[in-house]
Structure 1
Amino acid sequence: MKLSQGNRLLFIGDSVTDVGRERPVAQGTLFNRLGRGYPHIVSGMVNALHPELGINVINTGVSGDTARRLAARWQTDVIDLHPDWLSVMIGINDVWRQFDSPCEPEQHVLLDEYESTLDELFTRTCPLLSGGLVIMAPFYIETNLQDRMRAEIARYQAACRRLAEKHHAIFVDTQAAFDRILQSRHSSFISWDRVHPNDVGHTALAMAFLRAMEFDFEA
């Protein structure tokens, strides 16, 4: 496993990461401070199977965030918290606002801005990480590849792959994790709106993250 003794693992993102986490900074295992999503599940798995490591999981997800809004709070919600490992999942709202708010272009974060914003943040932050960077791609829980939002999300996923290669980061293909479930279940089995996962979806995200981190599920 890539995590080591005493590591601080910080998750940042939008509502999929937030999921009711404590403010201003959610960390630790007491009273479900991390919310009800995949950071909570990751913390539970890591600290149940490897309690000797003392991994401190931190959640600074904020519902509604785009890459632009993420950048505005990066100093306080990432840099100032001194993580060893940083996991970033952002992009759903960057795409979604283009479809649910088409008449409000000021809310849209198009692909070029999305990629350049994250590139700048990662360039600034990676040298500060003693562990490393994890890039979890945005997703859309939809099997129809011709669906306009699914097709647009794919372009942002490709940007995440490019950024992972450039910054020598670990890439987590969240779409593949959901597509596997969608081979036998309808999207409503995972999410009511194809964006916000239920407990099954968050477990899939947590497992995808842990596999990418070479977590030993048999420990």
Structure 2
Amino acid sequence: MRKICDLTWPRLALLCVVASSGRGFAAKPGASPSLSKGNARVVFVGDSITGLSRNAKCGFAHLMEAALKAVYPDAKPDLVSLGGSGMGVKSWLSCETSSRETERTLDIRGVPVKANLDRPADVLVVMLGMNDALAPYIGADEAALDRWQANYRTLIEALRERVGPGTIALASVTPCTEDPASPKNRFLAKMNDRVVSLAKEFGALAIPTGRSMWDVLERGRRQRRDFHVTYDFVHPNEAGHIAVAVAMLRSLGAPEAAEWLEKGRLARVFVAATARQASDATPPPEPPPWLVTAKLIQSAWDGNTFLAGKARTPIDAAIESGRDFTKAIDVGGGQVLTWQRYVPSVDYTGLNASGSVDFAALTQAAVFEGGYGARRIHSNRKRPVALVLGSRVFAGTIHLITWLNGKEVYRGLITAAPKKRVTVQAQLDEGWNTLVFKANHRTWQWQVSVDIQPVGEDVLDDLSYSIDFARDGGSSD
């Protein structure tokens, strides 16, 4: 797993989302959540995060097991993780139905679905929703959330009838991006409200796994500005898995085991973060901004093939003719895109690298959504440069077009390139230059990088950046 760096972000936004996403997430008063002093059989139903609970050495199932054995030396916990990459509520409904007749294995080798669901469990924990929002499999309106909740209800009913657990627990969806104010996390807060409602409906426990991760992230950033609870802004890293394990242990009636994890593993993570901060005391400079826009929905895909001609807009024509493409331009059906300032951030895929834009900072990202990014670059002289284009997504299909001074220099499926990276030779003119890209994504993550690298002995230390096109000499009608 790769290591990631980040900076501090507004605490107020964090507290707002935590308050929203955490409503009702606590053990139900009077309930009897029991891990039987570590001897319970617990079945976890989820996606790749649940798969990593066993497939990662620091996964939350491993951590829970270690904590229970430390607190209860004679304990023999039976923790079964049924996690499938890419799975959402509807796909788990299908999996549950088909597994009544046919055996299948998900992410964890040697852990069959049918055999484990056919056996009774003391505790059933369901943690789903990440992929429903990330892909996305569902729309962003209330009607879509109603349908999602109804499907979740059907799944719980089926699992309850089949597994016969003494305790049912529903875990909240964990963070998607590490900016609490991102559109994804705002949407996840709404989903978590639905999870709370379902937990109340079923007399189930609501486990605050999402809130626990936000709490650990906030505490970690007091120690170090580049602290993370995920390794790719979706899947938990060690700190994130500890947060999930702590929330589950507390909610399921093993607070001593949760405390053992916090005072041991989590404390060591924080100590290491503090030590790294001391060796890198100077904050990095803020990267230059982009002017960006999104919300361009274009059904211009044939499978994974992007039909660029079908997706051409008046903005493309304005870019190529040197006109002001940032003004109000009808892109079809009366739709006018809104441009806004974007600064690369370590809370998103691509981190705070100068050339990175993660559209998750702008939009919930519907299927087939596209957008643009632009910046002005001033050079003291004419010079050759290398444009390094790429994407850091772990899942996603993205088509990229790049223009420099109105000339198209690249067009292609950037996520299909080797290592999702392409280098293009280009030239900066003396004075102000205009760099623009158009990124159309099909599904899943949506991030691209457009970086300028020197050629030969050049160092590019005279370059300056702006998004004020009219002031800096950009043409304007």
Unaligned stretches of 5+ residues in structure 2: 1-32, 100-112, 261-477
Whole-Å Cα distance in 1 between the matches of residues 201 and 150 of structure 2? Answer: 12
- For residues 106-121 of structure 1, what are the structure 2 equivalents within 5 Å? 107-108=137-138, 110-121=144-155
Q: Is 1:153 equivalent to 2:188 in the alignment?
A: yes
Cross-structure match for 2:82: 60
Question: Normalising by structure 1, what TM-score?
Answer: 0.79
Cross-structure match for 2:473: none
Q: Is 1:4 equivalent to 2:43 in the alignment?
A: no
Q: Is 1:69 equivalent to 2:91 in the alignment?
A: yes
Please tell me whether the aligned partners of residues 54 and 60 of structure 2 are also in contact (alpha carbons under 8 angstroms).
no
Rg larger in structure: 2
Compared with structure 1, are the counterparts of its residues 187 and 175 closer, same or farther at alpha carbon in structure 2 (3 Å cutoff)? farther
Cross-structure match for 2:218: 183
Q: What letter matches 2:197 in structure 1?
A: R
Please tell me whether the aligned partners of residues 85 and 131 of structure 1 are also in contact (alpha carbons under 8 angstroms).
yes
Offset, 1:115? 0.9
Deviates more, 1:13-22 or 1:201-210: 13-22
Whole-Å Cα distance in 1 between the matches of residues 118 and 149 of structure 2? Answer: 23
- For residues 193-208 of structure 1, what are the structure 2 equivalents within 5 Å? 193-208=232-247
Whole-Å Cα distance in 2 between the matches of residues 72 and 161 of structure 1? Answer: 23
Q: What letter matches 2:43 in structure 1?
A: L
SS in 2 for 1:10: strand
Whole-Å Cα distance in 2 between the matches of residues 145 and 20 of structure 1? Answer: 24
Unaligned stretches of 5+ residues in structure 1: 23-33, 99-106
Offset, 1:181? 2.2
Please tell me whether the aligned partners of residues 188 and 194 of structure 1 are also in contact (alpha carbons under 8 angstroms).
no
Higher strand share: 2
Whole-Å Cα distance in 1 between the matches of residues 57 and 117 of structure 2? Answer: 21
Please tell me whether the aligned partners of residues 88 and 134 of structure 1 are also in contact (alpha carbons under 8 angstroms).
yes
1:94-149, CA deviations, whole angstroms, 9 ceiling, x for partnerless residues?
Answer: 00112xxxxxxxx4474223211111122233355342111111021556444211
Identity value in percent: 23
Compared with structure 1, are the counterparts of its residues 155 and 200 closer, same or farther at alpha carbon in structure 2 (3 Å cutoff)? same
Higher helix share: 1
Cross-structure match for 1:40: 62
Runs of 4+ in 1 over 6 A off after TM superposition: none
Please tell me whether the aligned partners of residues 115 and 159 of structure 1 are also in contact (alpha carbons under 8 angstroms).
yes
